[in-house]
Amino acid sequence: MIVHPSSRSRTRLGVSALSAALLAGVATAGAAPSMAADSGPAVPPTSSAETGWVMSTLHRMTLEEKVGQLFATRVYGETADTTDPAMVSINRSFLGVDNAAQAVARYHLGGIIYFAYAGNTRSPQQVAELSNGIQRAAGDEHLGVPVLVSTDQEQGAVVRLGPPATQFPGNMALAAGRSVADAGTAARITGQELRAVGINQDLAPVSDVNINPANPVIGVRSFGEDPALAAEMVAAQVTNYQEAGVAATLKHFPGHGDTAVDSHSGLPVISHSREEWERIDLPPFKAAIARGVDAVMTAHIVVPALDPSGDPATLSRPILTGLLRDELGYDGVVITDSLGMAGVRQKYGDDRVPVLALKAGVDMLLNPPVMQVAYDAVLAAVRNGELTERRIDESVARVLRLKWHRGIVHSPYVDTAAVAGTVGTPDHLAAAQEITDRTTTLLRDDADTLPLVPQERVLVTGWDDPATPTTTAALGRALNDRGLAVDVLSTGEKPTQKRIDAARAAARAHPVTVVVTNRATTDTGQQRLVRALLATGTRLVVVAVRDPYDVSSFPGVPTYLATYVFNDVAMSSLAAVLTGAIQPGGRLPVTIPDPAHPGTALFPFGAGLTTT
């Protein structure tokens, strides 16, 4: 347990007396919801030691410390006490401090979130040392309460800790494999590796049911379009994350799966009726609540059937209190999606959003655009009576209880010498490869192009990540390792006509061409590339390495596969399928519509071939 100094006196505003109702609410967080849900392991019963610690901690906190516990924010730098001038400058711009340690001291932060772009995740050893530095800063505070350290390690398309941490294929790929056990294993290993480096909360699993092929922000982050399949996999991941000592976080309530607007840049409106919401969006959340999920993240979306006010769900009391808390019986931590996103900032100012979110039923406020503005706004709202201190106490109690339940209070630090013995171990990497091998989906092989044979020279071309152009190279290496002669020609993220012409010329010199695409439905350059390659007469294999819907942009391709992700482990599985070393085991977890015949399927849910 972090030891806090008890000798310092502090001026405090009056601490509200916690009523029996509040105590009962804290004690029953995570209990079975009032709307029937699937059975499964829930959170452990609240112990008297836990309740005693939560209540005693709450009673000795100042209002400023309580409010600080309701915030989770990013910080820049590889260490908690960074002096890197670039990192210090950025921290000062939106935190008003130099580094993470100072942020904890100034705001009494309840949480910190890691990002690769913030310089937080350079290596497992560095992450572990950063985490320990943050917890030391919390231990040095009068409050002495450890920090929830979180990140978005969804696996697949959204990853903050890259190799050597174990990489899995992501949710839609796992759903293609149809193995609930595999989904659980992926979460367990991910959770073990996160906890080993001091990350005690994963902002995962994504629980949205993706029924809109044009969804620009969810897509392969979802387990697909089938609510029952998504519910099974979400529930399995919640159980395994939390058994690994990491708080799971469902996102994005009440369901972000049917939108063509990205809430990072706009405010989506979901037109589902209440009946449609209960049938499509609710099942994964309901199943995970029954498993005692630690946290639920809100969505910056408007759902008129659930709240006609026009407010996004993050600021909606009917949705967060009336629906999530009262109807579903959820009393765990509710955390917002980033408060820097356009979806929550369009209607109200940055000083109003955190106050309105708390009034709606939120417990933790994630990534406000300017920390001091948000922090001061909440303090002012309590002091002027818009928010009561009792309301603040309710949320702080939930946050404290989560920290106790995940063992962070008693064991906030990690053994940096033991990191290599957990992160990216041979057993973990082998499990990831075995799971990924069951996810590659073959949708068409009309020309009997597969399996590729070693006697033929193969061209690998197409899309690559602009930041780290390694996808085509990784596939080329994997095919080469399986005995094929391979030439690689990346066309970049958005192929120019010059690159398309170069790929077309190269394809004419190869009997077989493999071209990878990524979100080609919204990229005319990739569409022109595939059509140009088709016109050469080369035997063509097209692989969607993210959204499987790409084939709707060129429905005439003779051989088409989907991997749902473009990391090295997926490219290794793809190479094994292309060469016949393994059978393609994946089945579509979504329907691919036929653009020529609206309302019909080009490939139905469950489609998938073998290469026998």
Beta bridge partners of 515: 461, 542
Architecture of domain 440-603: 3-Layer(aba) Sandwich (3.40)
Strands 111-113 and 71-74 come out as parallel
Compute the average pLDDT of residues 293-300.
97
Could you report the per-residue pLDDT of 86-105, keeping only the tens digit for each?
999 999 999 999 999 999 99
Conformation bin of residue 2: beta by default, left when phi > 0, alpha when psi is -120 to 50: beta
> Percent of the chain having pLDDT more than 90?
87
Q: What is the pLDDT of residue 611?
A: 64
Q: How confident is the model at residue 8 (pLDDT cuts 50, 70, 90)?
A: very low
Could you check whether the bond before residue 164 is cis, i.e. omega within 30 degrees of 0? yes
Cα torsion 182, 188, 192, 194: sign: positive
Q: Which residue has the higher pLDDT, 292 or 48?
A: 292
This prediction has a pTM of 0.92
Confidence of residue 263 (pLDDT cuts 50, 70, 90): confident
* pLDDT confidence of residue 70: 98
Q: Where in the chain are the domains? A: 62-421, 440-603
Beta strands in 485-557 (DSSP E): 485-492, 512-517, 539-544
Q: What SS3 state is found at 201?
A: strand
Q: How far is the C-alpha of 290 from the C-alpha of 232, rounded, in Å?
A: 12
Both tokens assigned to 177: 């494999």
pLDDT at 14: 35
Distance CA 319, CA 302 (A): 10
Mean pLDDT of 21-28: 43
36-50, 150-164, 256-270, 449-463: least confident range: 36-50
41-68 residue pLDDT tens: 344 556 889 999 999 999 999 999 999 9
pLDDT in tens, 299-352: 999 999 999 999 999 999 999 999 999 999 999 999 999 999 988 998 999 999
pLDDT at 24 over 80: no
Mean pLDDT of the chain: 92
Instruction: Quickly state the pLDDT bin for 21 (edges 50, 70, 90).
Output: very low
**What's the pLDDT at 266?**
87
Encode 34-62: b = buried (16+ Cβ within 10 Å), e = exposed. Answer: eeebeeeebbeebeeebbebbbebbebbb
Question: So which residues are the catalytic ones?
Answer: 264, 337
**Could you tell me which CATH class the domain 62-421 is placed in?**
alpha beta
pLDDT tens by residue, 520-579: 999 999 999 999 999 999 999 999 999 999 999 999 999 999 999 999 999 999 999 999
Per-residue pLDDT of 341-369, as tens digits, reads 988 998 999 999 999 999 999 999 999 99
When pLDDT is cut at 50, 70 and 90, the band that residue 456 belongs to is: confident
